[in-house]
Amino acid sequence: MHVAVRTPEGDHDIDQLSSGEKELFYTLVTLIRIRSLPSVILYDEPERHLNAGLEALIIPALEKIHTRNQLWLATHALELIDSVPLNDLVAFRRDVDGRVTSEKVRERPIADRIRIFRSLGATVGVQVAARQVVFVEGEDSFKDQRILDKLARPRVPGVLFVASGASGSVMGAATRASLLIEQASTDARFSMILDRDYRDTATVEVLSKRLNNRVFIWGCHEIENLLLEPAVLLEVLRSNGIETMTSASDVDHLLRDCARSLQELFVHQWAAFDLSAHRYSDVEPSIARPRDSVTFAKWVESERKHRIQAFSEETVAKAIENSTQSVQRCLGTTGWRTLLPGKETLSAFRVATLPSLPEDLFIEQILHVIGTSGALPSEISRLCRFIEGSR
């Protein structure tokens, strides 16, 4: 019997899955079969034989099953721990007398939250040895973490990079990591890496100050921009038997063409980002300090007017016009390489040159070439200096 498994890279026979993927597949199928039975299920170390990317997908996959069962997962994996809300975590410890105690993680004073978060990963060993924890923010923070583990971690011994998820707003990073850093200004063991996205210089400075200067914000749009290096990509193409490009200049031209093909996407992303920041509104949001029902009603009306103005037809048109000019300015200079999204540009380049090569393998090959060439991106060097200086 042929069983096809659908993946982002296409359909595969079940026999082509790794041992870890098969184990996870069989477990999920079993849970689906018994999801209508109200039971308590103990799942020991679901991260076994899985890479960090798959570990991060376990909880979302379990949530999609909509089971009536109560699931208890025993794990030491930081990626798995970091993929669930704090209130869903229970820390178990064994004291010197052999007694086991449990502690439910709740919203607590910052010192307790930091202690519990660190202890959850302490049994892994690497967390114990870590002199500093650097949280990695971003929509694909687990992928960013793997890039940092390859490029930066060998140069900053004792540092642990931990994926913390995507930020929830323009002026902040609404993740557990940022909540810790925003309040734990005196604890030098914690810092954070933040995508620049479409933030301007003023916003970057305000955000850095708000997070107690414990945040490193990329000088480019995101970490994938560091991989848009023509000489490196040329070597990757040659290693895959692609000889149609003979020089780094050829690669550079194709990269720019890929960025140009994404102009509409960039324009609307940039406009949406600016609108989210209310950058084009003349009305500043008021602070909610009503004294009674009358002042509360006035505050509500003020906020309503602000929201209407912030997304009026005129405001939206202005945002589109300005973002169009900004994107065209980037595409007309070298700004496309740093200010526009590197992830989408790199993906378009892969599809144009190596469409059958999976994305994760493509990234691994780029990192291998960078590692063997010794040509470390300057932004990685700046990050290492930031980490060393914040200890």
pLDDT value, residue 252: 96
Answer yes or no: is 254 within a domain: yes
pLDDT value, residue 323: 94
Q: Which domain holds residue 67?
A: 1-75
Please tell me whether residues 290 and 381 are part of one structural domain. Answer: no
pLDDT value, residue 89: 79
Answer yes or no: is 93 within a domain: no
Please tell me whether residues 244 and 346 are part of one structural domain. Answer: yes
Give the residue from 75, 95, 119 where a domain finishes. 75
List average pLDDT for each run of 10 residues in the chain, which is 391 residues long.
Answer: 70 76 82 81 80 70 74 78 70 79 62 49 39 77 87 82 62 47 52 88 83 86 96 95 93 97 94 76 53 79 78 88 95 94 96 93 92 87 89 61
Please tell me whether residues 325 and 233 are part of one structural domain. Answer: yes
Answer yes or no: is 86 within a domain: no
How many structural domains comprise the chain? 3
Burial class, 203, CB count within 10 angstroms (exposed 0-12 / middle 13-18 / buried 19+)? middle
Answer yes or no: is 91 within a domain: no
Supply the pTM of this predicted model. 0.63
Answer yes or no: is 96 within a domain: no
pLDDT value, residue 47: 77
- In the beta sheet, which residues pair with residue 216? 193
Please tell me whether residues 261 and 357 are part of one structural domain. Answer: yes
pLDDT value, residue 340: 96
Please tell me whether residues 194 and 129 are part of one structural domain. Answer: yes
Please tell me whether residues 135 and 204 are part of one structural domain. Answer: yes
pLDDT value, residue 383: 95
CATH number of 171's domain? 3.40.50
Buried (b) or exposed (e) across 110-141, using 16+ Cβ within 10 A? eeebbebbbebbeebeebeebebbbbbbbebb
C-beta separation of 248 from 230 below 8 A: yes
